[in-house]
């Protein structure tokens, strides 16, 4: 079919409009929505898997992160195998189960929670006089105080369990009925039926966390059967609707023990009514079994000596993250037993910096505050470090590259070939020298810089083996001793080491250990001038992950702020929204998950610049490694 000029113009216009609106739709659905001037009413302290929020005036759902702020009239929903703990400003706690959804409206004197589906547990602060009104499909529940649990699925009507406190329900005809402690209300088409809870679940409590030792753990179940009921059957399932139960056993007495592997579990008891042929159920409690994560202080390492001459040094304390903690308490003392602490701080971050440590020996530990009720907090071992006054500033220490390592042409091309050393706030500048001989007689590169990193002119140096030294210079012009001699080679391509082979089997001698390598950007200055995106790349060996969580942080002074998070199944990600970035220092955390379990996590660091080195101040520079954090501060 031949089209004339006018038809072709119309077709081209329609295609252009279609492409334009497709792009606009994609940008709108992927944009990150800010809170703006919305009223903050609470915080999500713990999240597993995916929980989403939709603002009142938006149609886009966005993923919530741990410690995200909630605003008034937010709609919250959770996906499969998800859970979250919300704490409102008045102290009310709301535990969200998987596949749940509700809207929170705290306008006026009567807070309202509009419940759509799933399961919620509400713990009302007894000191607050105001009620919390929960509405669902025309029914109204008023919680004065105590703990209540609400369940609703597509197959079942709304059920209310009053574990503690005082609650009233209002029927569609306007009549109010009190539901006392230890009773449940079932909302049926014929009206509200109030019964005594047939079985009281005593242990494990709702939301309790158990640690596998190391593959499984013995969980103790305890309950109380009310009079009039008999023949209890214990049911344990992976889902809250109990479509698939892997434990369904008749139990004797009031307790039983089962060994369970890692996972999220729901449990209940089914009993027979002595006066009839029907069966009734207890409420449903949820608990978790997880591997015991390593938790320890990272920096300063045990016995570290931090020298200074005149200015007290910047000491950065870092520790590992815990997925089961919602905050950390740092304790620093002059005593090995940590009596009379000189520093105590509770924070959601896993690092903090101080610049007022005087000369002496310090002891420190961190307590990971559990996000789960009835679960003990985790404590790190007590570590010590020494702040020592010296007559001279010590010589700079090399951090990167490693001694006798190779720098490839690809690393140079990707701007990852950067020389880094331990910065010192008492030094004004550093003199870097590179030579082709170990005696430093043939200097091929020399430059003075105020920063603790530098990218030489690699094209000028060419290929071969090189040697480098650094000398620091104080504000008074006094020089430090020369650093240790660093040897490295510039090559076209790095040699790939061959795996060790068992001569008897002609196979690798051992299985590859799980490894996560942060490829880029990591330990480099990223020149953003003329770029429209930022590429993140990583490599995983020895394990197969189902998903990757990437969190990007910007560092301003001693503060670390999360500005971006993405979940992907690829081993790379392209950040196209550059409006969230600014010049300065950044770090990014990457976590590998499989079957909702954390397998590996690593962190990388980089610097963004529009015109390399020209606009960066020494106070902007911060490099983070898994072991230590180094910072130069003026």
Helix, strand, coil % (nearest 5) of the chain? 5, 50, 40
Both tokens of 211, joined, read 């640690």
The CATH class of 201-291 is: mainly beta
Q: In angstroms, what CA-CA distances link 233 with 195, 239, 249, 256, 482?
A: 20, 17, 5, 11, 76
The whole-number pLDDT of residue 115 equals 83
Q: Does the pLDDT of residue 630 top 80, yes or no?
A: no
Q: What is the pLDDT of residues 279-326, one digit of tens each?
A: 888 888 888 888 888 899 988 989 999 888 888 888 889 898 887 887
Residues of the chain above pLDDT 70, percent: 82
Predicted confidence at residue 386, as pLDDT, reads: 95
Confidence of residue 624 (pLDDT cuts 50, 70, 90): very low
Question: What tens digit of pLDDT does each residue of 32-68 get?
Answer: 444 555 677 777 766 565 677 777 666 677 777 766 7
Mean pLDDT for the chain? 79
Q: Do domains 40-197 and 304-387 have the same CATH topology?
A: no
Domain spans, the chain: 40-197, 201-291, 304-387, 397-491, 515-609
pLDDT at 498: 58
Q: Give the class (CATH, top level) of 304-387.
A: mainly beta
Q: What is the pLDDT of residues 108-149, one digit of tens each?
A: 667 788 888 778 888 876 666 667 888 877 778 888 777 888
Domain boundaries 515-609, CATH class? mainly beta
- How far apart (Å, rounded) are the C-alpha atoms in residues 148 and 167? 8
Percent of the chain with pLDDT over 90: 19
Position 401 confidence tier, pLDDT thresholds 50, 70, 90: confident
Is 606 or 631 the better-scoring residue by pLDDT? 606
CB 88 within 8 A of CB 94: yes
According to DSSP, the residues that pair with 405 across neighbouring strands are 488
Candidates 2.120.10.70, 2.60.40.10, 1.20.1250.20, 1.10.101.10; correct CATH number of 397-491?
A: 2.60.40.10
CA distance 529 to 564: 21
The partner residues of 178 in beta bridges, in order of sequence, read 168
349 or 331, which is more confident: 331
What is 40-197's CATH number, 1.10.10.10, 3.30.70.1350, 3.40.50.150, 2.60.120.1440?
2.60.120.1440
| Residue that is written with structure tokens 């741990």 in the block | 66
């Amino acid at each position: 079919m031949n089209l004339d000029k006018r038809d072709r113009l119309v077709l081209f216009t329609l295609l252009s409009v279609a492409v334009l609106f497709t792009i606009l739709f994609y940008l709108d659905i992927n944009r990150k929505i800010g809170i703006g001037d919305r009223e903050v009413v609470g915080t999500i302290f713990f999240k597993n898997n995916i929980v989403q929020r939709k603002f009142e005036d938006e149609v886009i759902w966005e993923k919530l992160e741990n410690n995200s702020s909630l605003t008034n009239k937010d709609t919250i929903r959770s996906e499969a195998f998800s859970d979250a703990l919300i704490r409102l400003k008045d102290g009310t706690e709301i535990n969200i189960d998987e596949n749940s959804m509700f809207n929170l409206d705290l306008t006026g004197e009567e807070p309202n929670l509009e419940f759509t589906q799933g399961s919620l547990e509400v713990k009302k602060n007894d000191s607050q006089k105001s009620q919390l009104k929960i509405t669902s499909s025309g029914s109204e529940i008023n919680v004065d105080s105590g703990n209540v649990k609400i369940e609703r699925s597509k197959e079942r009507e709304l059920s209310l369990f009053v574990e503690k406190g005082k609650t009233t329900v209002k029927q569609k005809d306007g009549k109010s009925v009190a539901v006392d402690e230890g009773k449940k209300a079932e909302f049926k088409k014929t009206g509200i039926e109030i019964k005594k809870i047939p079985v009281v679940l005593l242990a494990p409590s709702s939301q309790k966390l158990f640690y596998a030792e190391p593959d499984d753990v013995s969980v103790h179940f305890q309950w109380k059967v009310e009079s009039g009921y008999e023949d209890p059957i214990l049911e344990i399932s992976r889902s809250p609707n109990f479509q698939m139960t892997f434990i369904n056993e008749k139990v004797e007495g009031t307790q039983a023990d089962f060994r369970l592997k890692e996972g999220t579990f729901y449990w209940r008891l089914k009993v027979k009514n002595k006066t009839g042929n029907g069966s009734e159920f207890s409420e449903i409690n949820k608990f978790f079994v997880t591997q015991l994560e390593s938790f320890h202080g990272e920096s300063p390492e045990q016995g570290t000596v931090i020298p200074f001459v005149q200015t007290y040094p910047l000491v950065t304390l870092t520790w590992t993250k815990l997925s089961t903690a919602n905050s950390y308490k740092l304790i620093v003392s002059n005593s090995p037993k940590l009596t009379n602490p000189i520093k105590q701080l509770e924070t959601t971050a896993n690092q903090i910096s101080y610049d007022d440590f005087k000369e002496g020996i310090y002891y420190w530990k961190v307590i990971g505050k559990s996000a789960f009720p009835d679960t003990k907090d985790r404590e790190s071992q007590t570590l010590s470090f020494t702040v020592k006054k010296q007559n001279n500033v010590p010589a700079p220490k090399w951090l990167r590259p490693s001694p006798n390592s190779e720098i490839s042409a690809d690393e140079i091309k990707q701007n990852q070939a950067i020389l880094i050393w331990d910065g010192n706030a008492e030094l004004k500048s550093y003199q870097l020298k590179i030579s082709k001989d170990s005696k430093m007689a043939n200097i091929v590169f020399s430059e003075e810089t105020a920063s603790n990193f530098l990218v030489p002119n690699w094209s000028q140096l060419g290929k071969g083996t090189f040697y480098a030294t650094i000398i620091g210079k104080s504000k008074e012009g006094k020089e430090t001793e020369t650093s240790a001699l660093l040897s490295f080679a510039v090559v076209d391509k790095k040699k790939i080491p061959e795996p060790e082979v068992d001569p008897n089997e002609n196979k690798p001698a051992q299985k590859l250990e799980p490894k996560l390598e942060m490829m880029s950007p990591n330990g480099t200055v990223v020149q953003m001038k003329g770029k429209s995106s930022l590429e993140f790349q990583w490599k995983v060996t020895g394990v197969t992950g189902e998903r990757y969580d990437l969190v990007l942080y910007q560092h301003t002074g001693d503060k670390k702020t999360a500005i971006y998070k993405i979940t992907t199944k690829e081993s790379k990600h392209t950040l196209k929204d550059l409006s969230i970035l600014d010049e300065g220092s950044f770090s990014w955390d990457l976590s590998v998950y499989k079957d909702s379990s954390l397998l590996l996590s690593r962190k990388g660091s980089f610097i963004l610049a529009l015109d390399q080195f020209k606009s960066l101040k020494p106070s902007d520079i911060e490099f983070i490694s898994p072991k230590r954090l180094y910072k130069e501060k003026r």
